Structure 1
Amino acid sequence: MSFKAILTQLVQSVPGATGAIIADWEGETVDHVALRDDYELKITAAHLGIILTRMKELQGRLSADPVREAVITLADQRVILGPIGDDYLLVLTLDREAIAGWAMVKFEHVQAILLKEIY
């Protein structure tokens, strides 16, 4: 299945989802689906890649379990981000009112699918 199809299915299965993107470790877009501004989604993913990298570094220093995903709540949206292996990042953007728990279930499912597809 193509990345575009996987991301489209994720966005369509989560009420309130506004976009999903796969980016590499440098923040470059691999593929994406945006219901709003493409550019904004790509910039968001690039910046969140930096945050995920810092979280992984902290996890390594603390000898903690690996980071699986994180939810960041902003004034007008929620963002779920998580690694796909060591080299990629998955980001799902949501309206502020979206139910994050439901979105996380779908997000984790897609993470597992993409891990198999990529590696």
Structure 2
Amino acid sequence: MFKQKLTRVVNNIDGAIGCMLIGFDGIAIDSVFREAEVPQLSAISVELSNMLDKFRRLQVYDVGDVNEVSITTGNITTLARVIADEYLLVLALDKDADVGRGQTMLRLISPFVEREMV
């Protein structure tokens, strides 16, 4: 269902490793990898969902919404974007990839993924 959108992201960014749609509970809904699945991406995705969930709870303190985060570990930069308040689009990029293009691609497909979720 979401594979086409995730595949479009991975195919349109040189250096993309994979793209996942996960819930804030850390459970993957769908994923696409350029080559073999990267086990570290699942672990990083779960941690990013936990971190973003904590930021969401900080809204009580009027810090504003956190819609997007990135983290670099070793040679992988991972971007995460909140979708429909319950899910995350997670994109893993290698060290030479264009992070700005990755952010743009996640922003572009977000409304389409969100629409498919209803």
TM-score (norm 1): 0.88
Q: Secondary structure at the match of 2:93?
A: strand
Counterpart in the other structure of 1:39: 39
Identity of aligned residues (%): 26
Counterpart amino acid of 2:103?
A: M
Structure 1 segment 66-77 matched on structure 2, within 5 A = 66-77=65-76
Structure 1 segment 82-93 matched on structure 2, within 5 A = 82-93=81-92
Counterpart in the other structure of 2:104: 105
For structure 2, the 5+ residue unaligned runs are none
Q: Distance in 2 between matches of 1:77 and 1:39?
A: 12
Q: Deviation digits for residues 86-106 of structure 1, max 9, x if unmatched?
A: 211110000011111111111
1:49 aligns with 2:49: yes
The root-mean-square deviation of aligned C-alpha atoms, in Å, is 1.5
Counterpart in the other structure of 1:118: 117
Counterpart in the other structure of 1:78: 77
Q: Distance in 2 between matches of 1:32 and 1:97?
A: 22
Q: Distance in 1 between matches of 2:110 and 2:66?
A: 13
Contact 1:72 1:79 in 2 (8 A): yes
Q: Distance in 2 between matches of 1:117 and 1:99?
A: 27
Q: Deviation digits for residues 2-40 of structure 1, max 9, x if unmatched?
A: 201111111101111100001112111100012343433
Q: Distance in 1 between matches of 2:65 and 2:112?
A: 18
Counterpart amino acid of 2:80?
A: L
How many residues are treated as equivalent by the alignment? Answer: 117
Contact 1:19 1:93 in 2 (8 A): yes
Counterpart amino acid of 2:85?
A: D
TM-score (norm 2): 0.89
Q: Secondary structure at the match of 2:30?
A: strand
For structure 1, the 5+ residue unaligned runs are none
